[in-house]
Structure 1
């Protein structure tokens, strides 16, 4: 049986991978906080602004590596293929309260993107 937090994390992930940002945002609390390599992102609109360029313009596909969770916390790890790089691994640890993601600790490897940028120069 899949835990409720994991169900929500996976549904959110599937939605933005499918480029359905309206659906993806419906899994977030209005006051969601995301801790990302770019810094702290607060609120659903700021989260959308952070995610939209990647999901809508750069993402080609994603492959789930692992997913675990309990009733309040879920961790997913996946690898994305993007326009600039063939492999960009990422992980998210989300906290779910009242059926919505309230916190996301979002990690990804910047090195492939930095190497691609150096090659383009």
Structure 2
């Protein structure tokens, strides 16, 4: 499921980039150069601009929702290591030898806490 959402996010990101490149605030844009000019003449320039704006908002919202969904799915397996840095930190922590605290011999007197100077 996680992999499917990532692939869907990539597809939505690609489509969002295409829609953003197709529009131009001053008219024209890539849409008139790659054959969408006929669609603009057929539907009217105002309708094409509205459609591109709605598609931009839709893809942007879909991308946000998908990113939140992948975050929520990833929360379930907190013990899984997701990055090489986390893995190395866990290996370093587990490989570090644990040293026992040093205790003075049984017959010696304890050291004073604040020696006088």
Indicate the TM-score class for this superposition, using the shorter chain for normalisation.
under 0.3
* Larger relative helix fraction: 2
* Larger relative strand fraction: 1
